[in-house]
Amino acid sequence: MQSIIKYFIIIIGSVLIAAGTNFFLVPYKVLDGGVIGIALITNYLFDFHIGFVIILCSIPMFMAAWLLNRAIFYNSLTGMLISSFVIDLLSPLQPIFHPYLDWGAIPSASVGGFLIGTGLGIMLRFETSTGGTDLLAHFLARRIPLNVGVIILLMDAIIIGIGGLLLSGSTFVLSIFTIISGGIATGLCTMKRWSRKK
C-alpha cells in the first residue's frame, strides 16, 4: 500500500513539474535550476527533448549514488524517470494550453517555478525525488564544508548565469523569479508539521 501511495505521489509531482516546465517556462525561454535548467538550455539552443536530456545528465550522478548510497539511488531513480517521461509526454500540448495560461513573463516564470517546486516538494515529503543536482550536492557536502542547501543555491546560480549568457539577460532575470518561487513552494511542502504535543 505504501509503495502504491509513493508511485501516486511521484505521478502527481511529475505532472506538476511537467506543467510548470512546458506551459509556463518554455514559452518565455525561462530556466529553472538544477538538471531541469541544463535540459532547458539545451532545448532552447538545440531543440533537444527536455526529459531525454534530464536522463542523460543524471546518469553520472546516479552512477555515483549506486556506488555511494543505494538508498538514495532507489528513492530517486523512479522519480527521475517518470518525471522525465511526463515532461516529454506533455510537451506537444504546450501550444494548446499556453494561450489560456499566458499571464505575462514574470507571472508565468513565478507560477512555473511554484508548480515545479510543489511537485518536487511533495515528492520529497514522501521520501522520493527526481535526483539531479540534489544528488550531486548531497555528495559534495561530504567533501566540502558547505550546507547542502547552499551548494544547491550556488549550482542553480551558475546554471541560470550560464543560461543568461547563452540566451539573454531577460532569461536570467525571469529565471530568478522561477528559482525563488520554486524554493518557497518546496519549502512549504517539506516544512515539518507543528507538533500537537505540548
* pLDDT band of 19, cuts 50, 70, 90: very high
CA distance linking residue 89 with residue 194, whole number of Å = 38
Q: Are 61 and 182 in contact (CB under 8 A)?
A: no
Q: Which three cell numbers stand for residue 91?
A: 510537451
Q: Are 105 and 28 in contact (CB under 8 A)?
A: yes
What pLDDT does 87 receive?
97
Only one residue has cell 501511495, namely 5
What pLDDT does 69 receive?
78
Q: Are 5 and 126 in contact (CB under 8 A)?
A: yes
pLDDT reading at 194 higher than 70: no
Return the percentage of the chain with pLDDT > 70, whole number: 94
Mean pLDDT computed over 121-137: 82
Mean pLDDT computed over 122-151: 79
3-state secondary structure of 161: helix
Mean pLDDT computed over 161-181: 94
Q: Can you point out the beta strands (E) in 46-186?
A: none
- 93 sits in which H/E element: none
Give per-residue pLDDT as tens, 33-86: 999 999 999 999 999 999 999 999 999 888 888 888 787 788 889 999 999 999
Q: Which three cell numbers stand for residue 37?
A: 535548467
